[in-house]
Copies of this chain bind each other. A is one copy, B any other.
Amino acid sequence: MELNERQKKIIEIVKDQGPITGEHIAEQLNLTRATLRPDLAILTMSGFLDARPRVGYFYTGKTPSKLLNTKLKTMVVKDYQSIPIVVQEKVSAYDAICTMFLEDVGTLFVVDQNAFLQGVLSRKDLLRAAIGNRQLDQVPVSVIMTRMPNITVCEGEDAIVDVARLLTTRQIDGVPVVNKTEEGLEVVGRITKTTIAKAFVELSEGD
């Protein structure tokens, strides 16, 4: 939304001097309170300013992009996560690849006997193993996986957009959603670049 010059001036005044009453804003602009009413209404409704009775107007610090940001922060991991596909540490790379195809996923999580997270396997890890010289059915996944503590994880309440930032900056395809316990990390979900693409598409579909 585009603000007019007068509205921009009002924001500047409130930023500098807020909380400030409508009358005082009007005085500084040499206008009547009535003239300013629509502008103040627009600025309040659109979230730039807030008003408290007997106090006046103050600046919320919300620009349009910050308002979008607020919406993005409401999109959290637990509402978007997929089911995690896990394999045991002793499974072979060959069997892990078969699991990937059977489950149609690009990221597997490797767990120990107590089902706590030990590693992450991507298609890239398995492809690297495939062009190595060893037989894939002889290589346990524990040898080729990314292992704790080098694993990036997230939790149910994290914002999807923050996980998207992790995926892009660390150049990984997916992260496990975990519950942190004293004994280790329980794997409860999976967020991948596919999840992010779906969340992005959902933004355009709105309500």
List residues of chain A with CB under 8 Å of any chain B CB: 1-3, 37-39, 41-42, 45-47, 63-69, 71-72, 94, 97-98, 100-101, 104, 106, 123-124, 126-128, 130-131, 136, 161, 164-165, 167-168, 171, 173, 193-194, 196-201, 203-207
Q: Are B126 and A127 in contact (CB under 8 A)?
A: yes
> With a CB–CB cut-off of 8 A, which chain B residues contact A2?
45
Per DSSP, chain A at the interface is helix
Give the docked Cα–Cα distance between A198 and B169 (Å).
9
> With a CB–CB cut-off of 8 A, which chain B residues contact A204?
68-69, 72, 161, 165
Q: Are B72 and A100 in contact (CB under 8 A)?
A: no
Which one of A42, A165, A196, A197 has the highest number of Cβ atoms from chain B below 10 Å of its Cβ?
A197
Closest 9 CB pairs of A and B: A65-B206, A130-B130, A193-B193, A38-B38, A38-B41, A123-B123, A196-B197, A161-B204, A200-B200
Give the docked Cα–Cα distance between A171 and B194 (Å).
8
> With a CB–CB cut-off of 8 A, which chain B residues contact A171?
104
Q: Are B69 and A164 in contact (CB under 8 A)?
A: no
**Smallest CB gap from A104: residue in B:** B171
**Smallest CB gap from A196: residue in B:** B197
